[in-house]
């Protein structure tokens, strides 16, 4: 399962971190959907019902948009089906924060969005998972290994990089945004700067749009798709998010026009491409939101679950 994540980049950094190539090979940085950058709040400790950055095709909002154009949106975690008839989404009687890949075609809540091509990619620094022990649970932070090239093909000792990044967000590279290149490269001959910061975890998801029966603002929500855990994570938990590893997998998952559902579902595979480290029990309480939540700890050194 996936019940807690962290996403600590600023809105402009998220845009730079998930740049992509168009079908013509042009490097682009996705824009935020109107007003959504203001709805997103960076956090070291996101739980269901919170808002997260999600990458999806612009075609979902503009039918005339190029098929390969992506956009960033802020969506609430926990899918509310379009057909939900209550006047308050909090009245849902079951959890939709996760969707098992094996059950997508069996559950109405997920089958309908899938058939409509409502596929998205949830972005995060990583996610938390708890390993059951004799008298307690040990939390871990799980993420893509960080390498100079941004590739996850080789493991590296990156825990120190994570701690440094978490403690000093203000020192993150901001050269591109300072020079006006923080968004997509539609200027002729201009390409966005390469992102060399934290490689975001890209998780496959489904989204839906619910409107209150009596009218009102539309609510966009999502569910993280899960698969069986990879061999290196099985000692922590038996499930993990369906990770999309690399730009091509992300592109294929989002391109609902070219890649139909049966082929897209083949991307939902268990991948042994993540690394992890133990973190403080501080993360157990979702009200705790500081860099300390995701810093490596000695499992034998217990931290208080709540800080005053």
Q: For residue 181, is it within any domain?
A: no
Q: For residue 170, is it within any domain?
A: no
Q: For residue 199, is it within any domain?
A: yes
Mean pLDDT value across residues 159-178: 43
Q: For residue 172, is it within any domain?
A: no
| DSSP symbols for the chain | ----EEE-S-HHHHHHHT-EE-TTS-EE-PEEPTTHHHH---EEEE-TTSEEEEEEEGGGT-TTS-TT-EEEEEEEES---TT--SS-GGG-SS--SEEEGGGTTT-HHHHHHHHTT-EEEEEESEEEEEEE-SSSEEEEEEEPPP-TTS--SS----HHHHHHHHH-GGGS--HHHHTT-SS---STT--PPPP-SPPPEEEEEEEEEE--TT----EEEEEEEEEEPPTTTTTT-SEEE-B--SHHHHHHHH-TTTS-HHHHHTT-------EEEEB-GGGGSTT--SGGGGSB--TTS---SS--
Mean pLDDT value across residues 254-276: 95
Q: Which domain holds residue 131?
A: 4-147+193-294
Mean pLDDT value across residues 39-63: 96
pLDDT the model gives residue 150? 45
Q: Assign 161 a pLDDT band (cuts: 50, 70, 90).
A: low
The distance between the two most distant Cα atoms of the chain, rounded to a whole number of Å, is 61
Active-site residue list: 2, 129
Q: Assign 34 a pLDDT band (cuts: 50, 70, 90).
A: very high
Q: For residue 25, is it within any domain?
A: yes
The structural domain count of the chain equals 1
Give the CA radius of gyration of the chain: 19
Q: Assign 227 a pLDDT band (cuts: 50, 70, 90).
A: very high
Query: How far, in Å, CA of 96 to CA of 199, rounded?
Result: 27
Mean pLDDT value across residues 69-88: 95
CATH code at position 129: 3.90.1680.10
Q: For residue 178, is it within any domain?
A: no
Query: Which backbone phi and psi does 260 adopt, to 5 degrees?
Result: -75, 165
Q: For residue 137, is it within any domain?
A: yes
Q: Assign 13 a pLDDT band (cuts: 50, 70, 90).
A: very high
Q: Assign 134 a pLDDT band (cuts: 50, 70, 90).
A: confident
Q: For residue 171, is it within any domain?
A: no
**Of 238 and 299, more confident:** 238
Whether 105 has a pLDDT exceeding 90, the answer reads yes
């Amino acid at each position: 399962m996936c019940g807690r994540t962290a996403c600590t980049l600023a809105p402009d950094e998220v845009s730079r971190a998930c740049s992509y190539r168009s079908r013509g090979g042009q490097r682009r940085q996705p824009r935020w959907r109107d007003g959504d950058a203001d709805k997103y709040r960076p956090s070291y400790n996101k739980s269901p019902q919170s808002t997260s950055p999600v990458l999806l095709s612009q075609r979902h909002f503009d039918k005339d948009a190029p098929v390969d154009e992506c956009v960033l949106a802020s969506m609430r975690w926990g899918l509310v089906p379009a057909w939900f008839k209550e006047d308050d989404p909090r009245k849902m009687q079951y959890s939709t924060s996760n969707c098992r890949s094996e059950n997508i075609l069996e559950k109405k809540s997920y089958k309908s969005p899938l058939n409509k091509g409502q596929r998205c990619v949830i972005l995060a620094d990583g996610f938390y998972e708890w390993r059951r022990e004799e008298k307690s649970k040990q939390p871990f932070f799980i993420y893509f290994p960080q390498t100079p090239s941004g590739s996850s093909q080789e493991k590296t000792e990156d825990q120190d990089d994570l701690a440094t990044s978490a403690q000093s967000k203000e020192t993150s590279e901001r050269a591109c945004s300072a020079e006006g290149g923080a968004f997509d490269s539609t200027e002729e001959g201009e390409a966005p700067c390469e992102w060399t910061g934290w490689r975001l975890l890209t998780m496959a998801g489904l989204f839906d749009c619910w409107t209150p029966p009596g009218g009102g603002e539309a609510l966009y929500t999502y569910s993280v798709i899960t698969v069986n855990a990879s061999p290196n994570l099985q000692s922590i938990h038996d499930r993990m998010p369906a990770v999309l590893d690399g730009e091509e997998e992300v592109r294929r998952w989002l391109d609902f026009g070219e890649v139909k559902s049966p082929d897209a579902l083949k991307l939902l595979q268990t991948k042994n491409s993540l690394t992890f480290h133990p973190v403080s029990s501080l993360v157990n309480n979702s009200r705790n939101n500081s860099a300390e939540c995701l810093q490596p700890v000695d499992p034998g050194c217990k931290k208080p679950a709540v800080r005053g």
